[in-house]
A and B are shown apart, each in its own frame.
Chain A
Amino acid sequence: MITSGIEEKTFILNLGPQHPSTHGVLRVLLEMDGEYIAAAEPVIGYGHRAHEHMAENRNYHQFLPNMGRVDYLHALAYNHGYCMAVEKLIGVVVPERAEYIRVITNELNRITSHLLWFGAYLMDLGAFTPFLYCFDDREHILDLLDRITGSRLTYCFFRFGGVPVDLDDDFIFGCRAFIKRLRSRWVDYHNLVTKNVIFIHRAKGVGVFTKEQCLLYGITGPSLRGSGIAYDIRKSEPYSAYPLFNFDIPTGENGDIFDRYIVRLEEMEQSCRIIEQALDKLPNGPIMAEKVPKRIKPAAGEVYQAVETARGSFGTYIVSQGDIKPYRIKLRVPSFANLSLMVESFKDNLVADVVAILGSIDVVIPEIDR
């Protein structure tokens, strides 16, 4: 607990909630010894919107749009997790084509999230230009998803029992063209960023998360895989159509910023592979399950469903008491756990490293506050 630094030759630096690199409204109190961090304490809650409480006052359908706003960068994974949990609760089986569409859109959304991270992260390190290149790439996906979902950021696309809109030929063609384009861009990104001496020196050996720390704090997602633990909900607790596709789980070795960076770039490539396979094998058939009740009133019970978002494992825990409204919805968000370890790793680093580590975790503040 940070109280006062007056007696001890240290002082308090308030980082955020208005700071260019806290990615929204995170506030971190840093106890500084010169430019080195002696202790750090995050203050969260500036983006609190009471999503979990809202769930208790709405019926199941009405809560669906909220899911696009918890983690606005990978909204479809949240759609997916919540829809699957409710489907489990009311016993609806999603048709195969709908599962494929869910996987394709989900992976596209994952790529947008990682691309945005890539650009924003390098901006944290002081390189402005990659940001705009990533946004250029990302724009293509947004256009594609805009065609079928009708929105560009806070998607509310999945429905209980399937998806409302089918993929058309333009989308499929556009998808393939995008993957080709994205792959052609890797060369530039790697030459200009991954092999950049300054970047390597900023990233290698900084912000190391050990395996033990990761397990202790419940870290998930690329941050965990960067430390060398190949844990991915898509593989370990397969859901939707993911078991049907071949893809690898990229892992790092040292658990430093550089490994997390490489893991994310690799994941984009794996997402491309999944999308390609899904497009190749896309089955025909309905996109919506039959007999989905208009008025959802599940029997009393509890259900948990985890999905892999761009930041880690997201779990939806629903308690129903047989009402049209859920009794309680608990969202297990990855950024919250990741933030706890991150603050731990600030110690004895420079202010510049704080920004670098903060960025490398890819926190989304509304997700932490939910």
Chain B
Amino acid sequence: MDMLASTLGTEGARMIVGLIGVIALVSVNALFLIWMERKVSAHMQLRPGPMEVGWHGAIQTIADALKLMGKELITPEEVDRPVYYLAPVVVFLPVLLTFLVIPFSQKMIIKDMNVGIVLILAFSTLSVLAILMAGWSSNNKYSVFGAIRSVAQNIAYEIPLLVTVMSIILMVGSFKLTDIVAAQGRYWFILVQPLAFILYIICATAETNRTPFDLPEAESELVAGFHTEYSGMRFALFFLAEYTNMFIVSAVATVLFLGGWHGPILPGFIWFLIKVYALIFLIMWFRWTFPRVRFDQLVTFAWKILIPLSFANLLITALFLKLF
């Protein structure tokens, strides 16, 4: 660290250490989440899940990842090659970049930007572009369906998501994630903004394409949706991005509503991770309990219920702030 700091300056050293940390976190987190999902689903479904490789199947995911790396990368004949090759990269890069501004604790943040929350929301929207690229370039009707659904769905949930986040920002008066967490020193925002929290979780589930809003990849309808034609590591990148996205939306929810690193006794980042994984468990719980909504139902629900509710929430928040 000291040597790096002397050659690159503190900021540069922080960047490099942070990047290494993020890549490590992303891979370990994805491995853990996939194992967690399998275990959570298994125990909800009266079965033990993976048990053979490692303690309770703990390193099963590593075995699966190795298998995926060894697989042939199949490129179908008529695909739009440049776009087809680029899509898995485009889906993964923005996901990595959002980690720049997530405050794991008061000090554990790579770059505390004053537009932190905007950056996260902007980058997470990029994943839709990747899905569109993947679906369109695959030259497969099911993939195109997945892509179209993803775009339509994106417009539907992105607006309530932004407006909901807006109401928190109104309360804090800053886009900086550390400021938002610091403002929750006395009480968590979930206590004063319960509706916003519910709206956010619904939109976040849609954002990460998880059941009940997993329309772009609806297995029983579209086979595998936008990534039908992807195999091997290209498929793995989509998979990795999905799980990392889950981490990010949960991390943002933790920052906005659950008081970030605040908590007694344990160090800040431990509290942060506990809250994030609790939210991830909630999202997994949805997946293994609910059926999938229909495409038009989701759009109707978003436009007719979520958007008015989120605007109402914003107005009430603004009114309160003005009056008191």
Contacts and interface: CB of A to CB of B under 8 A. Distances in A.
Interface of A: 11, 13-14, 19-21, 35, 122-129, 132-133, 136, 192, 196, 198-199, 201-202, 350-355
B221 A127 contact: no
22 contacts: A11-B141, A13-B141, A13-B142, A14-B141, A19-B223, A122-B291, A126-B214, A126-B290, A129-B44, A129-B45, A129-B288, A132-B46, A133-B46, A196-B290, A202-B292, A202-B293, A202-B297, A350-B294, A350-B296, A351-B145, A353-B294, A355-B221
Given A11-B141, A124-B220, A132-B47, A350 B211 contact: no
B32 interface: no
A127 B222 contact: no
B289 A129 contact: yes
A351 B44 contact: no
Contacts of B291: 122, 125-127, 196, 198-199, 202
Contacts of A355: 220-221
Residue of B223, B288, B293, B296 ringed by the most chain A CB atoms within 10 A: B293
A37 to B, nearest CB: 12
A135 to B, nearest CB: 9
A352 B46 contact: no
A350 B44 CA distance: 31
Contacts of A126: 211-212, 214, 218-220, 290-292
A198 B45 contact: no
B135 to A, nearest CB: 14
Contacts of A13: 141-142
A16 to B, nearest CB: 10
Nearest to B287: A128
A292 B212 CA distance: 58
Interface in B116-171: 141-142, 145, 148-149
Nearest to B297: A201
A20 B218 CA distance: 10
B295 interface: yes
Contact of A132 (B45, B214, B219, B221): B45
A71 B255 CA distance: 56
A196 B212 CA distance: 12
A14 B222 CA distance: 11
Which 7 A-B pairs have CB atoms at the shortest separation, nearest pair first?
A: A126-B292, A127-B291, A125-B291, A132-B45, A21-B220, A352-B294, A126-B291
B290 A198 contact: yes
Contacts of B212: 126, 198
A68 B222 CA distance: 32
Nearest to A351: B221
A128 B46 contact: no
A12 to B, nearest CB: 8
B193 interface: no
B41 interface: yes
A127 B289 CA distance: 6
